[in-house]
Amino acid sequence: MSLTTEVPAGEAYAAGIPDTDEPYGLFEAWFAEAAAREPNDPNAMCLATCSPDGWPSARMVLLKGRDDRGFVFYTNEHSRKGGELLANPRAALCFHWKSMRRQIRIEGEVERVTAGESDAYFASRSRGSRISAVSSDQSRPLASRAEFERRVAETEARYPGEDVPRPPHWGGFRLLPRMVEFWQDMPYRMHDRLVFERAGEGWTTGRLFP
């Protein structure tokens, strides 16, 4: 069974989302199409977190890994999102691929990835991005751009070689989905929505009114 349909450029899909009994195959099919079509960052997703007293916040992050456990992104744990995730480890993700008129929403609990996973990902980043991560107190007030540039120069001087160690507060989170919803634009706003909810080791599935 094919999980995807060719996207007519700039038009809505004629056919709806195919029935399937688990979400990951369909996610991979849509993600592969997005990677082939989107002009940049097909892995960009909106991450929503919530403070323990109920204030939500949302920002974009990049998906850096996916397996049967969940969806992985990397950030600074001292940031606003990091603090919220550590205090209230529940989150939501939202992909929107404009050229394909598709959305995927994912919700679930969040856990830290292992230090080994974070080390491996950090080591794969460019030297400049590692220097930047070490130099940035992400989400803290910054007096001026010059202050950040001075910090970057100090970090470069401290680590002249390739080895730029991962800060202990910089690492990955994995969202373990308990809900995944696929949304596809259809003519006259008669969109198609296919939702999956975790049920033990498997999934229940159904459609929602658009």
Ligand X SMILES: Cc1cc2nc3c(=O)[nH]c(=O)nc-3n(C[C@H](O)[C@H](O)[C@H](O)COP(=O)(O)O)c2cc1C
Our finding on whether 103 is near ligand X (CB under 6 A) is: no
Interaction of residue 130 with ligand X, rule CB under 6 A: no
Cβ contact 76:138 at 8 Å: yes
Tokens 């691929």 identify what position?
97
Based on CB atoms, which residue is closest to ligand PLP, 71 or 74?
74
Tell me how far, at minimum, the Cβ of 124 lies from ligand PLP, in Å: 8
For residue 74, the minimal CB distance to ligand PLP (Å) is 6
Of the candidate residues 15, 32, 56, 59, the single one contacting ligand X (CB under 6 A): 59
The tokens of 166 are what?
A: 């991962």
Say if strands 192-199 and 202-207 run parallel, antiparallel, or are unpaired. antiparallel
Which residues, 27 to 56, sit near ligand X by CB under 6 A?
41, 44
In 10 A of CB 145, how many CB atoms? 8
Q: 103 among the known binding-site residues?
A: yes
| Cross-strand bridge partners of residue 47 | 59, 93
- Which tokens in the block code for residue 7? 């996207």
For residue 55, give the DSSP letter: -
From first CA to last CA, the distance across the chain in angstroms is 25
Q: Is 139 annotated as a binding residue?
A: yes
Q: Is 189 a catalytic residue?
A: yes
Residue range at the interface with ligand X (CB under 6 A); choices 6-14, 71-79, 175-183, 186-194: 71-79
Residues with active-site annotation: 189
Binding residues for FMN: 59-64, 74-75, 80-81, 103, 138-139, 183, 193
